[in-house]
Amino acid sequence: MKTKLFFVCLAFIFSGTLVFAQLSKQEKKEWKRKAKEYAKNPTNLKQLTEEKQTADNTVGKLNTQVKQMQSTISDKDTRIGELETQMNSMRSQLSATRAELEQLKAAPPVNPMDFSKGVVFRVQIGAFKNKDLSKYFDNNPNFGGEVGKDSEPQKITIGIFRDYWEADTFKKYLRDMGVKDAWIVPYKDGQRVDIKDVLEGVVGDKPVKN
Res 112: pLDDT: 59
| Rounded CA separation 137/144 (Å) | 5
Fold exhibited by the domain 119-197: Alpha-Beta Plaits (3.30.70)
| Max CA pair span of the chain | 140
pLDDT tens digit sequence for 35-71:
777 777 788 778 888 888 999 999 999 999 999 999 9
- CA pseudo-torsion sign 186, 187, 193, 198: negative
pLDDT tens digit sequence for 131-174:
777 777 777 777 877 776 666 788 888 898 989 999 999 999 99
Domain locations along the chain: 2-40, 119-197
Residue 176 has pLDDT above 80, yes or no: yes
> Which of helix, strand or coil describes residue 124?
strand
Res 34: pLDDT: 79
List Cα–Cα distances, 145 to 75, 178, 183, in angstroms: 70, 20, 13
- Report residue 114 CA to chain centroid gap: 37
pLDDT tens digit sequence for 104-134:
788 666 565 667 788 889 999 888 887 777 7
pTM of the model: 0.43
**193-202: which pairs have CB atoms within 8 A and are 24 or more residues apart?**
198/119, 199/164, 202/119, 202/164
List Cα–Cα distances, 59 to 15, 76, 180, in angstroms: 15, 25, 97
